[in-house]
């Protein structure tokens, strides 16, 4: 579905028109996921990684009320510098930020929406939102999951952080009919670590095999996304037990000071970073780069196979 409401940069528009590979990237990770200047450097490095692997990057955000696919370096810098002054925009916030003519950093959910409207099928990020721990009482379930249930975009991530209940997140995705593929792994990674103790639905070993699954799903009219879980490279993975301890203490602190709603995820991410003395930031950057690389390779195969159909 294409829609005139999304503004494209010239290179993104040319790539989409000609059916060339394009990879969407989100902006919440820039404004709310990492500090400046690492967020700015990360955003540019990720775009360059996508290009090196044969695809066109399209960083997605709402700029002055306009949903955009493809940002200039100056725009990326502004999203990186203004950081949390820019609102975090998920599905429910899109119409408000558009009508008010403001800037918005897009989450996985809203990036998927804008990517789909622009005609982009492949999207790389760090981690997806999910069912939070104790969601049975808080009802805190990320809008990312509902988006994956209905919007036709494949999301390459390093799984879900264990700030979430990974088991419940997988149950939710199963109910909603969202395939969870492990890229060269049978185990779902837990963002900072290659292990989580949970299995994926299917292990897939090559970009071409992932692309075939995407074409099969969408050509059958099975609407919705696909989660492709790509583990952090071994040399950057952190210790599972140590991360569990850090996350437990971040969760306890969050409960104590009463943070809720859309502020939960950014709070937990910041606290984890603080408690690991920045070690988690380096891991975060490396896994995003790795996801961008694999996403570009999948986009190349997805586009090649699309031409043969």
Q: Which residues bind ligand PSU (CB under 6 A)?
A: 26, 28-29, 33, 90, 107-108, 126-127, 129, 142-144, 161, 191, 262, 265, 269
Residues in 179-238 that interact with Mn ion by CB under 5 A: none
Shortest reach from residue 237's CB to ligand PSU, in Å? 15
Comparing every residue's Cβ against Mn ion, the nearest one is 140
- 6 backbone dihedrals φ, ψ, rounded to 5°: -95, 125
What does 91 bind: ligand PSU, Mn ion, none (CB cut-off 5 to 8 Å by kind)?
Answer: none
What does 269 bind: ligand PSU, Mn ion, none (CB cut-off 5 to 8 Å by kind)?
Answer: ligand PSU
Contact between 140 and Mn ion by CB under 5 A: the answer reads yes
Q: How far apart are CA 303 and CA 20, in angstroms?
A: 6
Active-site hit among 26, 77, 116, 147: 26
Contact between 147 and Mn ion by CB under 5 A: the answer reads no
Which is closer to ligand PSU, CB of 13 or CB of 142?
Answer: 142
Check if 262 is active-site: no
Which is closer to Mn ion, CB of 93 or CB of 140?
Answer: 140
Shortest reach from residue 167's CB to Mn ion, in Å? 18
What does 90 bind: ligand PSU, Mn ion, none (CB cut-off 5 to 8 Å by kind)?
Answer: ligand PSU
DSSP the chain: ---TTSEE-HHHHHHHHTT--EEEE-SHHHHTTS-TTHHHHHHHHHHHHHHHTT-EEEEEEEETTEEEES--HHHHHHHHHHGGGSEEE-GGGHHHHHHHT--EEE-HHHHHHHHHHHT--EEE-S----BBTTHHHH--B-HHHHHHHHS--EEEESB--TTB-HHHHHHHHHHTT--EEEET-SB--BTTBS--S-B-SEEE-SHHHHHHHHHHHHHTT--S-EEEE-PPPGGGPPPHHHHHHHHHHHHHHHHHHT--GGGHHHHHHHHHHHHTTTHHHHHHHHHHHHHHHHHHHHHHHHHHHHHT-
Which is closer to Mn ion, CB of 47 or CB of 140?
Answer: 140
Which is closer to ligand PSU, CB of 13 or CB of 191?
Answer: 191
Active-site hit among 88, 161, 217, 271: 161
Contact between 47 and Mn ion by CB under 5 A: the answer reads no
HSE-CB for 102 with a 13 A CA cutoff: 15
Check if 26 is active-site: yes
Shortest reach from residue 180's CB to ligand PSU, in Å? 16
Shortest reach from residue 218's CB to ligand PSU, in Å? 22
Which is closer to Mn ion, CB of 119 or CB of 130?
Answer: 130
Shortest reach from residue 260's CB to ligand PSU, in Å? 10
Instruction: Kindly list the residues in this chain that would bind Mn ion in the complex (CB under 5 A).
Output: 140
The catalytic residues are: 26, 161
């Amino acid at each position: 579905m294409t829609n005139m409401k999304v503004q494209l940069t010239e290179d993104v528009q040319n790539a989409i028109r000609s059916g060339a590979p394009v990879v969407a990237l989100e902006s919440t990770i820039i404004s709310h996921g990492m500090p400046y200047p690492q967020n700015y450097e990360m955003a540019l490095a990720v775009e360059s990684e996508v290009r090196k692997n044969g695809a066109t990057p399209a960083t997605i955000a709402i700029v002055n009320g306009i949903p955009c696919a493809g940002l200039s370096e100056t725009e990326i810098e502004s999203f990186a510098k203004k950081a949390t002054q820019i609102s975090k925009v998920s599905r429910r916030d899109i119409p408000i930020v558009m009508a008010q003519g403001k800037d918005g950093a897009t989450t996985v959910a809203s990036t998927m929406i804008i990517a789909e409207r622009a005609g982009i099928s492949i999207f790389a990020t760090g981690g997806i939102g999910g069912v939070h721990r104790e969601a049975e009482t808080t009802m805190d379930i990320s809008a990312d999951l509902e988006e994956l249930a209905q919007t036709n975009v494949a999301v390459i991530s390093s799984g879900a952080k264990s700030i979430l209940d990974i088991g419940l997140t997988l149950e939710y995705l199963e109910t909603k009919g969202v395939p969870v593929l492990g890229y060269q792994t049978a185990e779902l990674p837990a963002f900072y670590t290659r292990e989580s103790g949970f299995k994926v639905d299917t292990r897939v070993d090559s970009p071409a095999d992932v692309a075939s699954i995407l074409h099969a799903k969408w050509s059958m009219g099975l609407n919705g996304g696909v989660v492709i879980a790509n583990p952090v490279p071994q040399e950057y993975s952190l210790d599972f037990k140590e991360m569990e301890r850090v996350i437990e203490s971040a969760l306890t602190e969050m409960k104590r000071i009463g943070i809720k709603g859309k502020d939960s995820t950014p709070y937990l991410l910041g606290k984890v970073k603080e408690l690991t003395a920045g070690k988690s930031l380096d891991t975060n950057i490396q896994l995003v780069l790795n996801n961008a690389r694999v996403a570009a390779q999948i986009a190349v195969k997805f586009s090649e196979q699309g031409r043969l159909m």
